Structure 1
Amino acid sequence: MTETEPQKNGFHSDDEEDNKNQRPVNIEADVHEMERRKRVETIMSSKIFREELERVVGDRIRDSAEDGISALIKDAIRPGSGPVTSASTAVIPINDIRGLDNIIYAKGEKQLRCKLAAVYRLIHLQGWAPGISNHVTARISQDTEHFLLNPYGLQYNEMTASSLVKVNMQGEVVEEGTTNFSVHKESFALHSAIHASRPDIKCIIHLRSQNVVAVSAMKCGLIPVCQEACLIGDCSYHTYRPDMNSQAAKDELAKDLGPSNKVMFLRNHGVVCCGRTVEEAWYMAYHTVLAVDTQLKMMPYGLDNLVPIEESVRASVYELAQAGGGGVNHGTSKEWGVGELEFEALMRKLDNMGYRSGYQYAEPLVRKDPPRQVSDVEVPPTVSNLSYLLEDDELCKDGGLRTLLAQLLRSNKKNSWVNNSHGTGGGGMYETVEVKK
């Protein structure tokens, strides 16, 4: 009698592929990692690889006065011998506030700092940064009348949440940032005058790019020849004077700005864009620059050839934009404010670029459908049970498929399962009985 090898727990195949299929996922991942390491060790121990590496290092030492290994590492990090580009440099994170550092800030101040520092980075990425000059200011609260702004001496691409300086209405430092630089009080006087006259304004962006200064120096000012000029509403104009410390100068500026305008061109000195939120201020600044660029492209053809947009159309476009969300607030789970939807998209862009904005997103990017409710009642697995298919909206998007399933359901209703008992003991068997009408 020959002995047969015992079967193991119902598994009757010695095939290696079947063994792989029985492995758990974590063990399979470990096996793949072991195989990868084995291949790497094989390459590293190869004589041909060592000889090639020695040849490359030797050629590098002969061709360069630098240390060969150091030069190779530099080339691995930054290929080529050209200048360092923004894509190859390390990105300074916007949100550099970590751990216990949060407790020194008031409620909501950390998020405001991250937003304001992100605006500085956006201005730099757009090519509007004037070096270390100009300011973007944000009011922390109406109660304390404290404001955040950049320290004078730091470039816009270096701005972080913790480096912002907190000052009062007079420009005196209330809380230093994490740098050794202080603030430019004379430059902040322009912002403090606007903040004092318009409590509704929370953020002010001062831009002084070439195209903006060019339009601010024109007698015609900004002409509404594009949609972007409609989105920012009516613009104000003010003859800028460097000395803003006198009360008369502040009163004149407040009068020129008006009670409701949010964009004011400073003659020969750029523009200030204001907003009730940081998002709205960026929205106004972005569309102001677009409107300025469009106008300058049209100017060579002469002012007589420009066709301004009608006042009624401008008013309707501005009213729609002030509804927020580009007029698509209906049907969404959040009522977007002016510029919020656009600003959130820009924060995703910065985060994808590695800036670590620290922004708290109001809406996730990917929609997740809620799980379907499963009935507690078990449906008998009969051929007549087609109703669950009709309830699947995703499956029955096509009207033809829904009609076909309905016809099958009606035809199968002619058959029903009945319990026909045979014998004793209450046991039963199921049989199909045709129901005749």
Structure 2
Amino acid sequence: MISNKISDSNEISVENKSKYSDIEYLTRVKLAAAYRLVAHYKWDEVIYNHLTARIPGTDYILLNPFGMRFDEVTASSLVKLDLEGNIIDEGSSNLGINSTGYVIHGAIHRARPDIESTMHTHVNDVVAVACYKEGLLPISQNALIVGDVSYHDYEGISVNLEEQGRIVKSLGSENKCLILRNHGIVTCGNCVEEAFYFLYQLTKACEIQVKMLSIVGGDTSKLTIPSEEIKDFVIKTARSFTKQGNGKKEFKALYRLIETIDDSFKN
């Protein structure tokens, strides 16, 4: 169990009493905590949407069972898949997976070994920005922190494996945030913490943009746009706050919150 004393370390430590290796169990716990946090912020959509994590040092990813709410997800309920979409361990349920989760997330994990975690949501303001022709505008500090964002044109519900190559191409080789036109967003990270960090920042940036556009009646000429120099400064400054990687300190703080509310996600 994590100590009640707050440590300077950004790393989360948990006692492993499961059948899984230490690294797999820790990955499961962090991903389950992320699911609970998404539910806590009300970014979930019944049983839909997905968060994934690659088990470090393997070609296996973890995905939520199809039929379980985000506030029900636990470490042991997560389904283990290989990168071809085959179920290796169905977890503690027999619910299986939603194939759309593999189409989007599996494609990214296969093509981008630098990405350990992906998160996909359909929050109202996020979808509104995804429908907006101009996309995400660099009008808030949160939008500047996110940095460059990729876009993928809508092709309907993601059930076609042929779309995987186009999703990967749209994301590109370096970006970690993808806006799915008319659909939602995908954020990526080199760990669960970083993917959640971008999910938080991008979601808030979209909320601010929708509110701001409503204030100005959609007239973008009334908006102030920071210079490229300021944008670069914001990105570099934000990255310097957490030397061990984007989002680790923030995620650990939120981990303590969700652990206090209900620590059953560790089971």
* The two structures share one fold, judged by TM-score above 0.5: yes
Partner of 2:78: 164
Partner of 1:341: 249
Select the residue among 24, 39, 52 that pairs with 1:124.
39
Tell whether 2:187 aligns with 1:276.
no
Helix, strand or coil for the counterpart of 2:182? coil
Pair 356,323 (structure 1): closer, same or farther in 2 beyond 3 Å: farther
Partner of 1:311: 228
Larger Rg, first or second structure (1 or 2): 1
Helix, strand or coil for the counterpart of 1:108? helix
Select the residue among 150, 171, 176 that pairs with 1:262.
176
Partner of 1:353: 261
Of structures 1 and 2, the one scoring higher in RCO (CA 8 A, sep 6+) is 2
Helix, strand or coil for the counterpart of 1:231? helix
Partner of 1:197: 111
Question: What does residue range 169-318 of structure 1 map to in structure 2 within 5 Å?
Answer: 169-241=83-155, 242-246=158-162, 249-300=163-214, 301=216, 302-318=219-235
Deviation at 1:356, TM superposition (A): 5.5
Pair 183,297 (structure 1): closer, same or farther in 2 beyond 3 Å: same
Q: Which runs of 5+ in 2 are unaligned?
A: 1-13
Helix, strand or coil for the counterpart of 1:116? helix
Is the CA contact (8 Å cut-off) linking 2:36 and 2:265 kept in structure 1? no
Q: 1:351 and 1:243 mapped to 2: Cα distance?
A: 35
Select the residue among 62, 67, 85 that pairs with 1:153.
67
Deviation at 1:354, TM superposition (A): 3.7
Deviation at 1:224, TM superposition (A): 0.7
Pair 152,97 (structure 1): closer, same or farther in 2 beyond 3 Å: farther
Deviation at 1:183, TM superposition (A): 0.9
Deviation at 1:280, TM superposition (A): 0.4
Q: 2:52 and 2:260 mapped to 1: Cα distance?
A: 26
Deviation at 1:269, TM superposition (A): 0.5
What amino acid is aligned across from residue 51 of structure 2 in structure 1?
A: V
C-alpha RMSD of matched pairs (Å): 1.9
Q: Which runs of 5+ in 1 are unaligned?
A: 1-95, 326-334, 359-437
Is the CA contact (8 Å cut-off) linking 2:73 and 2:265 kept in structure 1? no
Q: 2:39 and 2:132 mapped to 1: Cα distance?
A: 26
Question: What does residue range 92-111 of structure 1 map to in structure 2 within 5 Å?
Answer: 99=17, 102=18, 104-111=19-26
Helix, strand or coil for the counterpart of 2:263? coil
Is the CA contact (8 Å cut-off) linking 2:99 and 2:159 kept in structure 1? no
What amino acid is aligned across from residue 289 of structure 1 in structure 2?
A: T
TM-score under structure 1 length normalisation: 0.55
Helix, strand or coil for the counterpart of 1:160? coil
Deviation at 1:244, TM superposition (A): 3.5
Partner of 2:50: 135
Deviation at 1:295, TM superposition (A): 0.5
Deviation at 1:357, TM superposition (A): 5.7
Deviation at 1:98, TM superposition (A): 6.8
Helix, strand or coil for the counterpart of 2:188? strand
Q: 1:353 and 1:107 mapped to 2: Cα distance?
A: 24
Is the CA contact (8 Å cut-off) linking 1:324 and 1:340 kept in structure 2? no
Is the CA contact (8 Å cut-off) linking 1:97 and 1:161 kept in structure 2? no
Q: 1:236 and 1:151 mapped to 2: Cα distance?
A: 28
